[in-house]
């Protein structure tokens, strides 16, 4: 396994060729780092599952280089899905659509749907474009961490998390810290109106403004399995406690206006909701690096990105 910090066009071409040859390539997106494989190679995708320790029925998101490739992976694209793609791709949004023939069971977890995303990070887009030039059509890429653990937002975190599980031919592309810090919003686009399956930076209000449709809430449609939907997920080794008083020896994640009690280890003091999202996973990883047993988190209030942060924290704290 090699970590590449200087990612030139030649580097991306070599990484794309490695993907085509069956290697895994971890790469940055604006949300978190992903662990990529050729989405049309059952053998390469199987290595993602084994490296992560991920259950085989959990589908993977296919990353594509542009909206124009949606039709290759999906057999039915509603107009509102196209509108969302035009407004928010490249960006932190995954659209779940009815799959085409090239989306195999090994990608979809046996479901008749596929998740698609065009990431906004320039290194991710460069890799995808090089991958297409090498004859590929999509890169399957869940977050580059062991299943259920905290998602990585730096190349160092990927190496720390997965280094012992990666092969010599695998690569990690270092593109700096992820700017959003939370995984993409996942939107089910298989019905008459959009349905949010995972909260993220693309909010209900943004979806409704683009589509002119009300986001479906609390419906009885069949459940679609997606990443990050388990009750317990995004969890550090430390025990996460929400909205309680931190005691000496505990770690603390709280907005900057909250003072740090005596003897408490401050892990993060964000001044904005965007900073809270961007640095949350780094702070949770820091707790484990320092060997803390308990992390107290004071959750942000509000809708939108704050709701996505609370979603991740409640899953991290679930036992």
**pLDDT mean over 228-243:** 82
The 10s digit of each residue's pLDDT in 26-52 is 999 999 999 999 999 999 999 999 999
Half-sphere exposure of 244 (CA within 13 A, CB side): 13
| Range in 127-141, 218-232, 234-248, 268-282 the model is least confident about | 218-232
pLDDT for 233 beyond 80? no
**pLDDT mean over 122-136:** 97
DSSP state of 219: -
Q: Tally DSSP H helices, then E strands, for the chain.
A: 10, 15
Q: What average pLDDT is seen over the chain?
A: 94
pLDDT band at 68 (very low <50, low <70, confident <90, very high): very high
**pLDDT mean over 290-311:** 96
* pLDDT, greater one: 2 or 67: 67
pTM: 0.95
The 10s digit of each residue's pLDDT in 161-190 is 999 999 999 999 999 999 999 999 999 999
- pLDDT score at 293: 97
Domain-wise residue ranges, the chain: 2-211, 239-317
Strand 25-28 with 239-242, pairing: unpaired
- CB-CB neighbours of 31 under 10 Å: 29
pLDDT for 21 beyond 90? yes
207, burial (CB in 10 Å: exposed 0-12, middle 13-18, buried 19+): buried
**pLDDT mean over 243-248:** 96
Alpha-carbon gap, residue 47 to 36, rounded angstroms:
10
Q: Which CATH class is domain 239-317?
A: alpha beta
**pLDDT mean over 195-199:** 95
What are residue 137's phi and psi, to 5 degrees?
-125, -15
In sequence order, which ranges of 173-272 are alpha helices (DSSP H)?
Answer: 204-211
pLDDT band at 220 (very low <50, low <70, confident <90, very high): low
pLDDT band at 7 (very low <50, low <70, confident <90, very high): confident
pLDDT for 235 beyond 90? no
* pLDDT, greater one: 319 or 3: 3
Rounded to 5°, the CA angle 74-118-14 comes to: 105
87, burial (CB in 10 Å: exposed 0-12, middle 13-18, buried 19+): middle
Q: Name the CATH superfamily, with its identifier, for domain 2-211.
A: DHBP synthase (3.90.870.10)
- Residue length, the chain? 319
pLDDT band at 226 (very low <50, low <70, confident <90, very high): confident
How is residue 72 written in tokens?
Answer: 């290759």
3-state SS assignment for residue 212 = coil
């Amino acid at each position: 396994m090699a970590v590449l910090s200087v990612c030139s066009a030649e580097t991306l071409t070599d990484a794309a060729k490695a993907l085509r040859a069956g290697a895994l390539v971890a790469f940055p997106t604006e949300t978190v780092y992903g662990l990529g494989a050729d989405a049309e190679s059952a053998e390469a995708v199987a290595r993602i599952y084994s490296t992560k320790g991920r259950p085989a029925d959990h589908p993977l998101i296919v990353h594509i280089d542009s909206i124009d490739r949606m039709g290759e992976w999906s057999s039915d694209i509603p107009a509102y899905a196209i509108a969302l793609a035009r407004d928010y791709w490249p960006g932190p949004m995954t659209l779940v659509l009815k799959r085409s023939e090239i989306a195999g069971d090994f990608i979809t977890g046996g479901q008749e749907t596929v998740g698609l995303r065009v990431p906004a990070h320039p290194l991710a887009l460069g890799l995808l474009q090089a991958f297409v030039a090498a004859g590929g059509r999509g890169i399957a890429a869940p977050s580059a961490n062991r299943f259920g653990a905290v998602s990585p937002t730096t190349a160092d975190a990927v190496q720390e998390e997965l280094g012992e599980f990666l092969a010599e031919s695998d690569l990690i592309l270092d593109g700096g810290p992820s700017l959003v810090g939370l995984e993409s919003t996942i939107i089910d686009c298989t019905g008459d109106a959009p349905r949010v399956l995972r909260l993220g930076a693309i909010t209900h209000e943004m979806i409704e403004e683009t589509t002119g449709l009300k986001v479906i809430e609390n419906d009885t449609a069949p459940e679609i399995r997606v990443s990050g939907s388990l009750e317990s997920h995004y969890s550090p080794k430390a025990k996460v406690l929400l909205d309680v008083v931190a005691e000496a020896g505990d770690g603390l994640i709280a907005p900057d206006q909250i003072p740090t009690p005596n003897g408490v280890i401050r892990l993060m003091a964000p001044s904005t909701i965007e900073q809270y999202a961007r640095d949350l996973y780094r702070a949770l990883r820091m707790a484990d690096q320092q060997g803390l047993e308990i992390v107290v988190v004071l959750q942000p209030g509000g809708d939108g990105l704050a709701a996505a942060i609370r979603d991740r924290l409640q899953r991290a704290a679930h036992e």
